[in-house]
Amino acid sequence: MKGNSYEAVMSRKNDIMKKAVGIDYSQFESGSIAFDYEDMMKKVGYTLEEMINIQKSSGVGETKIYEMKNLTKLARKFSDEGKGARIFVKDEAANPSGSFKARRAANAVYHAKKHGFKGVIAATSGNYGAAVASQAAMYGLKCIIVQECYDSEHKGQPEIIEKARKCEAYGAEVIQLSVGPELFYSFLELLEDTGYFNASLYTPFGIAGVETLGYEIAMQMREMVGKDPDAVICTNAGGGNLTGTARGLQKAGAENTKVIGASVDLKGLHMASDKQFNKKSFTTGHTGFGIPFATTPDRSDVPRSAARALRYMDRYVTVSQGEVFYICEAMAQVEGFERGPAGSVSLAAAFSIAQEMNEDEIIVVQETEYTGAGKHIQPQLSFARNNGIDIRFGNPEEQIPGVNIILPESPGMIKAKDLDMIKIKKSYLSKTLENINNVNEKDVKYLVDEINESRKFILDYLKVNNIKIVEG
């Protein structure tokens, strides 16, 4: 009999994943550090036209773009003369499950149905769970969502609990766990026991599903203002949102559009720490996911993640929790749009970055999410206060994650902070090349593509770290 100990189950993870995803990742491997990413996306995924049709059949996509005229006027009050780009927002809350994750789920669940799986499983505490549950209901498949929800005192974050409610409303079974390694262990056990499809966030199906979002943005902006956006800002966590959007922009021919990632700064909080789990007021879209997934993309629940943000990210900025809550409320009261906090991460960044850009330039926030119950900012702030977080108005630059949340006294205090992209890229190289003495030319080309840098940049790094290039 197969053992069910933690060690036994983890030793079988590759076989379990291969069966549950239906992808033989070895066909894309080179035998060294390189793998053929584009070949994986081409052979395993769907064409853009196929994805559009799949999503249309389940009511996903073709969401509207709205110009935030009042927020643009507000941003221009704090801009130099001639500055203050026009801010637009793609309203992904209009999707069936209330977020852009419906695009990823539509393709994944369609694929599961097509290949005869009786059900789907996803390990997620975010909007993706509701998206998978919604699509599974449409396709008549069983659905299990596994959440990392509680600390050891059984205190659950209101946003995660709200998402569990939404998943259950669509008929899914929700399994809630405490923070720790049991999440992946339980996930593997369920995949093995049920034989269900692994509707992972990080398969080619899921990432390719977001390409329609980037494609729509380019096409809609050309129709609305006669040109491609100058910048598109994506809330960044695991990297799939940014990766898929950027690939869609490229497929639309929007080669000059800058792709900017934005995360909430949660520096100093460890995402796997039981004591720190409830000290954060954002369950996604923060640096606790954004940085590690950028520097180690294959840390996901599949052998090779299709979400590879450094391939596409032109700039990476952070905003504080207080700034996001502030702009979330401003969007509701100034524009009449009440949406959840995840999409407002990129909106807060856009409000700041727009002030750097010219008045005739266009900046697009590429997603919104639904709000309600635990996702609203008030229960989030109440939960933070109950966990000893000091909440006050002041200067957001004084915010310490896990200690306080400082709402800006003025919208002019909202300032996106740039992360050092070179430092992040070198961190990726350090992790990828750890304990490696030799690489080949295929590896060099792979690294050039992976971090979107020059061959000289890679060669200089290899030289400094005494890594030789050999034949093979």
Average pLDDT over residues 452-471: 96
Residues 251 and 340 in one domain: yes
Residues 277 and 337 in one domain: yes
Q: Is residue 30 part of a domain?
A: no
| pLDDT mean across residues, the chain | 94
pLDDT-derived band at 274 (thresholds 50, 70, 90) equals confident
Per-residue pLDDT reduced to its tens digit, 177-235? 988 778 888 999 999 999 999 999 899 988 999 999 999 999 999 999 999 999 999 99
DSSP per residue over 211-271, as a string? HHHHHHHHHHHHHHHSS--SEEEEE-SSSHHHHHHHHHHHHTT-TT-EEEEEEE--TT--T
Residues 379 and 457 in one domain: no
Q: Return the pLDDT at 226.
A: 98
Residues 334 and 442 in one domain: no
Q: Six-digit token pair at 105?
A: 């789920």
Other beta carbons less than 10 A from residue 329's beta carbon: 15
Measured CA to CA in angstroms, residue 344 lies from 12, 235, 290, 331 at distances of 40, 8, 16, 9
458: containing domain: 434-469
Q: Six-digit token pair at 455?
A: 């061959």
Q: Is residue 35 part of a domain?
A: no
Q: Return the pLDDT at 428.
A: 98
Per-residue pLDDT reduced to its tens digit, 36-72? 999 999 988 789 999 999 999 999 999 999 999 999 9
Measured CA to CA in angstroms, residue 217 lies from 120, 204, 244, 384, 442 at distances of 30, 21, 12, 35, 34
144-158, 236-250, 423-437, range with the lowest pLDDT: 144-158
pLDDT-derived band at 374 (thresholds 50, 70, 90) equals confident
Q: Is residue 329 part of a domain?
A: yes
Q: Is residue 427 part of a domain?
A: no
Q: Return the pLDDT at 4.
A: 86
Say yes or no to pLDDT of 156 above 90: no
Residues 272 and 308 in one domain: yes
Per-residue pLDDT reduced to its tens digit, 62-117? 999 999 999 999 999 999 999 999 999 999 999 999 999 999 999 999 999 999 99
Q: Is residue 173 part of a domain?
A: no
Q: Return the pLDDT at 64.
A: 98
Contact 32, 440 (CB under 8 A): yes
One-letter amino acid of 251: K
Per-residue pLDDT reduced to its tens digit, 378-398? 889 999 999 999 999 999 999
Q: Return the pLDDT at 456.
A: 98
Contacts of 131 by beta carbon, 8 Å cutoff, 6+ apart: 95, 97, 99, 101, 102, 104, 105, 106
Contact 209, 51 (CB under 8 A): yes
Closest CA to 450 of 341, 261, 298: 298
Q: Return the pLDDT at 284.
A: 83
Average pLDDT over residues 438-462: 97
The CATH number given to whatever domain includes residue 273 is 3.40.50.1100
Tally of domains in the chain: 2
Among 377, 394, 418, identify where a domain stops.
418
Say yes or no to pLDDT of 307 above 90: yes
Residues 343 and 456 in one domain: no
pLDDT-derived band at 300 (thresholds 50, 70, 90) equals confident
Say yes or no to pLDDT of 1 above 60: no
Residues 284 and 218 in one domain: yes
Query: Strand 390-394 relative to strand 404-408: parallel, antiparallel, unpaired?
Result: parallel
Largest Cα span, the chain: 73
C-alpha neighbours within 13 Å on the C-beta side of residue 60: 31
Q: Is residue 142 part of a domain?
A: no
Residues 292 and 340 in one domain: yes
Say yes or no to pLDDT of 175 above 90: yes
Question: Mind spelling out the 3-state secondary structure of 72-93?
Answer: HHHHHHCCCCCECCEEEEECHH
Q: Return the pLDDT at 250.
A: 98
| b/e per residue 282-307 (b: at least 16 CB within 10 A) | bbbbbbbbbbebbbebeebbbbbbbb
Say yes or no to pLDDT of 150 above 90: no
Average pLDDT over residues 293-310: 93
